[in-house]
């Protein structure tokens, strides 16, 4: 009997060649191998007498080898193996190209199954490159005469190889214990695990294969829900410092705002303040379209905390954004008496003591002041927290535009001295409900659904190559009228060139895309030599980036050419055109975010999507951007069109691939969550479900490690 956790090296019949190929696929044990699912099936279940096999048909024939022959084709230098195969009804020729070794296995006089597609050659029926195996095996067939699993063929491991190894293992596998409660299987019509394992690899019918797939997809979502719900429950049991609402400072701060908060902003702020006042840590995601005013909400929460004597770590993904937040906090709320520190790279920071009094300070000095509790709000990049900044009384952690939600945020919630700081993350990526229920299932959500008054819709146009000059003309007009332009390019040149040796077709293609540097050269020298063009990309030094952003924000440049890393939160109300090169390379949600950079001021704004791609798909996808009513609608579309892996990026969520794929199965998400809730309600610590507990913990491990 083969056990699940047996190493493949200890399984009889697997040679070193297979072992090393499996190792490359991260398959080391029987359990790993069983989780390596087929991507599709080839239907060879129709068995036909040779005489009845018709061209175009995919069949299995069973016949005796009459004679074989190896020859070289005369036109192309190709090795061809031919075999005459006969049954009682007739004869057919089987042909294989470029696999000369096959001849040796085709013993004359032996009977084989041949599965493949029937064709014709020189007026005769032939079966080309058929899969074959000895006929009449008592243990059933692997490659022929049935639904045959096709595995993702990577790293030198063929489907045939996987079938060869996995079939005998399945036949001798120990019984796997079912970890999904039987009631849940029943209620949701799911296959039991042993049945499902067999059916996903060697199904008798397509229905059975589908049922197996459904069970595993459901399983992932169920485990994910269990993991999230347990995490949430665990967090509720943790202690946090309750931060009372401080009416006086809030009223003062809100009065200082140069605008009136939208109803939506107020509602979100209330939800946050309510959470903060509790002794259990908040774990909340503040969502809202680009420009919806998330910063003000988070800033008010931080000011409230400061007013009540608690510190806030206010983090941004980049230094440019950190500076912007510092400016917002000090400009808008400079009068309310909160001391704000900005931690920047290079060993220096900046402290706002009060209106009119700011000083440069060494980072080390800043850390000391933070530790003594002299700084109310510490603003910086993530290094601020990851670097061991000791806070005197850290009450709240705010993270802005954090795309790697999953991993980072969980790491952030480590407790300090027995309590966990309240946690608020902000994101402009509209996350579809399906994902918030699953991937982010342990988060509470606040959504800003309203845009500040006076925002104008951005006119969005797809620009075909022949309209490029016209578009440039339009850009020139806007600049002449005093406006500013963003130009976004997919990637920078250097990166691809460095990797040029290792590039596949896909990557080579990317090489041809507009690069920032090339685009910058073109725009600044040829197209707009008379305008002030600047460049911003990820490879620049922080200082250069800050300077570039600053110059642009102050209106001292007309055009900013940037990569997609363009500081996602930058706020330049005078910019009215967002022009995007090779727009088809971006996800809809991302394009939507870029577009949100404009349309913030009083002037009409435009988003120009440049694309050379002609495909109907591309046009349709981009067209969605012109019709969708909001970011959520687009995000759902994006999710459907590209799948969750592409949508969020597997690495960004830290989710295992299999779980990501399951997310595509929207109908399963709800039932999995309901079942998880039911199990945990009855057995919160899963003491009666130890296998399930183990599996859920393993899922958490996979989330953190992949
Ligand atoms: P995001 O949600 O993308 O982070 P920001 O917080 O950067 O948006 O806000 C975008 C701009 O809108 C800023 O200039 C901010 O001052 C302004 N703003 C925020 N709230 C309001 C409001 N209620 N009314 C008018 N303008 C606002
Ligand atoms: Mg922002």
What pLDDT digit, counting tens, does each position of 62-115 carry? Answer: 999 999 999 888 777 789 999 999 999 999 999 998 889 999 999 999 999 999
The confidence score (pLDDT) of residue 203 equals 95
What atom of ligand 1 comes closest to residue 265's alpha carbon?
A: 23
What SS3 state is found at 66?
Answer: strand
Nearest ligand to the CA atom of 402: 2
Report the separation in Å between the CA atom of 569 and the middle of ligand 2, taken as the mean of its atom positions. Answer: 4
The DSSP 8-state label assigned to residue 666 in this structure reads H
pLDDT band at residue 650, thresholds of 50, 70 and 90?
Answer: very low
Q: Is the pLDDT of residue 614 over 60?
A: yes
Report the separation in Å between the CA atom of 452 and the middle of ligand 1, taken as the mean of its atom positions. Answer: 7
Q: What's the length of the chain? A: 706
The residue contributing the CA closest to ligand 1 atom 15 is 293
The confidence score (pLDDT) of residue 93 equals 95
Instruction: Please give, one letter per residue, the 3-state secondary structure of 550-589.
Output: HHHHCCCCCEEEEECCCCCCCCCCCEEEEEECCHHHCCHH
Report the separation in Å between the CA atom of 400 and the middle of ligand 2, taken as the mean of its atom positions. Answer: 7
**C-alpha to C-alpha distance for 70 and 99, rounded to whole angstroms:** 10
What atom of ligand 1 comes closest to residue 295's alpha carbon?
A: 6
What atom of ligand 1 comes closest to residue 288's alpha carbon?
A: 2
The residue contributing the CA closest to ligand 1 atom 5 is 293
Report the separation in Å between the CA atom of 293 and the middle of ligand 1, taken as the mean of its atom positions. Answer: 3
Report the separation in Å between the CA atom of 572 and the middle of ligand 2, taken as the mean of its atom positions. Answer: 12
pLDDT band at residue 537, thresholds of 50, 70 and 90?
Answer: confident
What atom of ligand 1 comes closest to residue 400's alpha carbon?
A: 4
The residue with tokens 């992932």 is 220
Nearest ligand to the CA atom of 328: 1
The confidence score (pLDDT) of residue 172 equals 93
What atom of ligand 1 comes closest to residue 324's alpha carbon?
A: 7
pLDDT band at residue 445, thresholds of 50, 70 and 90?
Answer: confident
Q: Using one digit for the tens of pLDDT, what is the confidence trace for 133-158?
A: 998 877 788 999 899 999 987 777 88
Asked if 456 contacts 605 with a C-beta cutoff of 8 angstroms, the reply is yes
The confidence score (pLDDT) of residue 415 equals 55
What atom of ligand 1 comes closest to residue 332's alpha carbon?
A: 16
Nearest ligand to the CA atom of 297: 1
The confidence score (pLDDT) of residue 333 equals 83
Nearest ligand to the CA atom of 597: 1
What atom of ligand 1 comes closest to residue 262's alpha carbon?
A: 23
pLDDT band at residue 239, thresholds of 50, 70 and 90?
Answer: confident
CA 479 from chain centre, in angstroms, equals 37
Q: Is the pLDDT of residue 15 over 90?
A: no
Nearest ligand to the CA atom of 601: 1
Average pLDDT, integer, range 541-569: 82
Q: What is the CA radius of gyration of the chain?
A: 31
As a whole number of angstroms, the longest Cα–Cα distance in the chain is 101
Compute φ and ψ for 493, nearest 5 degrees.
Answer: -55, -50
Ligand 1 site residues, Cβ closer than 6 angstroms: 259-262, 265, 288, 290-296, 428, 452, 569, 571, 600
pLDDT band at residue 188, thresholds of 50, 70 and 90?
Answer: very high
Average pLDDT, integer, range 470-482: 94
Listed residue (299, 232, 246) closest to 277, CA to CA: 246
**C-alpha to C-alpha distance for 469 and 409, rounded to whole angstroms:** 45
Give the residue, out of 289, 293, 332, with the most ligand 1 atoms within 8 A of its beta carbon, to mutate for a pocket test.
293
- Comparing 206 with 539, the larger pLDDT belongs to 206
What is the average pLDDT value for the chain, to the nearest integer? 85
Q: Is the pLDDT of residue 46 over 70?
A: yes
The confidence score (pLDDT) of residue 526 equals 92
Q: Is the pLDDT of residue 193 over 90?
A: yes
Q: Percent of the chain scored above 70 by pLDDT?
A: 86
Q: Percent of the chain scored above 90 by pLDDT?
A: 46
The confidence score (pLDDT) of residue 406 equals 45
Least confident span in 302-306, 682-686, 701-705 = 701-705
Nearest ligand to the CA atom of 296: 1
Tokens of 171: 């036949």
DSSP 235-287: HHHSB-------HHHHHHHHHHSSSPPPHHHHHHHHHHHHHHTSSS--EEEEE
Q: Is the pLDDT of residue 624 over 60?
A: yes
Report the separation in Å between the CA atom of 292 and the middle of ligand 1, taken as the mean of its atom positions. Answer: 6
Instruction: Please give, one letter per residue, the 3-state secondary structure of 353-385.
Output: EECCEEEEEEHHHHHHHHHCCCCCEEEEECHHH
Report the separation in Å between the CA atom of 254 and the middle of ligand 1, taken as the mean of its atom positions. Answer: 13
Residue 68, H or E segment: strand 58-72
Calculate the dihedral angle through the C-alpha atoms of 365, 368, 369, 375, rounding to the nearest 10 degrees.
Answer: 110
**C-alpha to C-alpha distance for 686 and 458, rounded to whole angstroms:** 51
The confidence score (pLDDT) of residue 565 equals 59
Residue 691, H or E segment: helix 690-705
Report the separation in Å between the CA atom of 450 and the middle of ligand 2, taken as the mean of its atom positions. Answer: 15
Asked if 200 contacts 191 with a C-beta cutoff of 8 angstroms, the reply is no
What atom of ligand 1 comes closest to residue 261's alpha carbon?
A: 23
Task: Tell me the β-bridge partners of 133.
Answer: 113
Report the separation in Å between the CA atom of 447 and the middle of ligand 1, taken as the mean of its atom positions. Answer: 14
Report the separation in Å between the CA atom of 318 and the middle of ligand 1, taken as the mean of its atom positions. Answer: 19
Report the separation in Å between the CA atom of 125 and the middle of ligand 1, taken as the mean of its atom positions. Answer: 72
pLDDT band at residue 496, thresholds of 50, 70 and 90?
Answer: very low
Q: Is the pLDDT of residue 432 over 90?
A: no
Residue 412, H or E segment: helix 405-412
The residue contributing the CA closest to ligand 1 atom 1 is 291
pTM of the model: 0.68
The confidence score (pLDDT) of residue 567 equals 52
The residue contributing the CA closest to ligand 1 atom 22 is 452
Report the separation in Å between the CA atom of 162 and the middle of ligand 2, taken as the mean of its atom positions. Answer: 49
Tokens of 401: 């535009």
Report the separation in Å between the CA atom of 441 and the middle of ligand 1, taken as the mean of its atom positions. Answer: 28
The confidence score (pLDDT) of residue 304 equals 96
The residue contributing the CA closest to ligand 1 atom 23 is 261
Cβ neighbors of 390 (< 8 A, separation 6 or more) are 367, 370, 371
Give the residue, out of 287, 449, 452, with the most ligand 1 atoms within 8 A of its beta carbon, to mutate for a pocket test.
452
Nearest ligand to the CA atom of 447: 1
pLDDT band at residue 60, thresholds of 50, 70 and 90?
Answer: very high
The residue contributing the CA closest to ligand 1 atom 11 is 291
Report the separation in Å between the CA atom of 373 and the middle of ligand 2, taken as the mean of its atom positions. Answer: 27
Q: Using one digit for the tens of pLDDT, what is the confidence trace for 203-216?
A: 999 999 999 989 99
The residue contributing the CA closest to ligand 1 atom 17 is 293
Give the residue, out of 260, 288, 296, 427, with the most ligand 1 atoms within 8 A of its beta carbon, to mutate for a pocket test.
296
The residue contributing the CA closest to ligand 1 atom 20 is 293
pLDDT band at residue 653, thresholds of 50, 70 and 90?
Answer: very low
Q: Which residues are in the CB-under-5-Å shell of ion ligand 2?
A: 569
């Amino acid at each position: 009997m083969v056990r699940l956790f047996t190493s493949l090296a200890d399984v009889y019949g697997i040679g070193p060649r297979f072992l090393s190929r499996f190792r490359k696929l991260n398959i080391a044990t029987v359990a790993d191998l069983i989780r390596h699912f087929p991507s599709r099936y080839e239907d060879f279940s129709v068995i036909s007498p040779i005489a009845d096999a018709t061209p175009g048909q995919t069949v299995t024939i069973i016949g005796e080898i009459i004679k074989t022959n190896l020859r070289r084709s005369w036109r192309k230098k190709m090795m061809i193996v031919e075999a005459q195969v006969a049954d009682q009804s007739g004869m057919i020729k089987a042909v294989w190209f470029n696999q000369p070794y096959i001849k040796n296995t085709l013993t004359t006089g032996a009977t084989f199954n041949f599965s493949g597609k029937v064709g014709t050659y020189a007026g005769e029926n032939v079966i080309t490159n058929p899969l074959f195996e000895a006929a009449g095996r008592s243990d059933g067939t692997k490659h022929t005469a049935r639904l045959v699993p096709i595995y993702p063929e990577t790293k030198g491991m063929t489907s045939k190889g996987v079938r060869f190894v996995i079939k005998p293992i399945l036949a001798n596998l120990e019984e796997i214990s079912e970890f999904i409660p039987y009631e849940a299987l029943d209620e949701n019509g799911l296959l039991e695990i042993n049945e499902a394992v067999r059916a996903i690899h060697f199904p008798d019918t397509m229905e059975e294969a589908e049922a197996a797939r459904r069970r595993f997809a459901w399983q992932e979502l169920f485990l994910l829900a269990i993991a999230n719900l347990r995490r949430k429950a665990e967090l509720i049991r943790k202690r946090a410092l309750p931060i009372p609402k401080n009416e006086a400072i809030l009223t003062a701060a809100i009065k200082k705002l140069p605008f009136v908060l939208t109803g939506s902003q107020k509602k979100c702020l209330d939800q946050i303040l309510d959470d903060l006042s509790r002794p259990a840590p908040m774990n909340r995601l503040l969502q809202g379209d680009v420009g919806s005013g998330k910063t003000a909400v988070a800033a008010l929460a931080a000011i409230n905390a400061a007013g009540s004597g608690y510190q806030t770590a206010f983090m941004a993904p980049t230094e440019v954004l950190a500076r912007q937040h510092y400016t917002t906090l000090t400009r808008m709320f400079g009068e309310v008496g909160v001391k704000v520190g900005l931690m920047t790279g290079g060993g220096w920071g900046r402290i706002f003591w009060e209106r009119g009094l700011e000083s440069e300070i060494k980072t080390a000095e800043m850390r000391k002041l933070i530790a003594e509790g002299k700084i109310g709000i510490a603003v910086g990049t993530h290094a601020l927290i990851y670097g061991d900044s000791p806070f005197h009384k850290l009450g709240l952690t705010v993270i802005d535009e954090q795309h790697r939600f999953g991993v980072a945020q969980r790491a952030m919630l480590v407790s300090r001295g027995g309590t966990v700081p309240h946690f608020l993350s902000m994101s402009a990526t509209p996350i579809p409900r399906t994902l918030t229920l699953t991937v982010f299932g342990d988060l509470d959500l606040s959504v800003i659904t309203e845009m500040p008054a006076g925002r104008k819709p951005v006119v969005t146009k797809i620009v075909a190559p022949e309209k490029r000059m016209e578009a440039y003309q339009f850009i020139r007009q806007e600049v002449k009228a005093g406006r500013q332009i963003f130009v976004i390019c997919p990637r920078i040149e250097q990166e691809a060139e460095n990797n040029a040796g290792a590039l596949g077709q896909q990557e080579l293609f990317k090489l041809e895309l507009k690069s920032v540097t090339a685009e910058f050269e073109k725009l600044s020298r040829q197209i707009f030599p008379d305008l002030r063009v600047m460049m911003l990309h990820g490879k620049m030094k922080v200082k250069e980036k800050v300077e570039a952003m600053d110059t642009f924000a102050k209106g001292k440049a007309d055009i900013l050419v940037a990569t997609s890393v363009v500081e996602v939160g930058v706020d330049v109300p005078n910019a009215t055109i967002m022009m995007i090169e090779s727009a088809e390379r971006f996800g809809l949600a991302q394009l939507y975010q870029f577009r949100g950079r404009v349309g913030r001021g009083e002037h009409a704004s435009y988003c120009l999507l440049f694309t050379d791609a002609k495909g109907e798909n591309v046009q349709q996808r981009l067209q969605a951007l012109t019709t969708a009513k909001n970011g959520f609608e687009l995000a759902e579309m994006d999710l459907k069109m590209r799948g969750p892996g592409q949508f969020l990026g597997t690495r960004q969520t830290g989710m295992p691939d299999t779980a990501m794929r399951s997310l595509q199965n929207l109908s399963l998400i709800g039932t999995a969550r309901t079942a998880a809730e039911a199990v945990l309600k009855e057995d919160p610590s899963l003491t009666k479900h130890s296998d399930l507990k183990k599996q859920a913990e393993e899922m958490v491990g996979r989330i953190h490690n992949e």
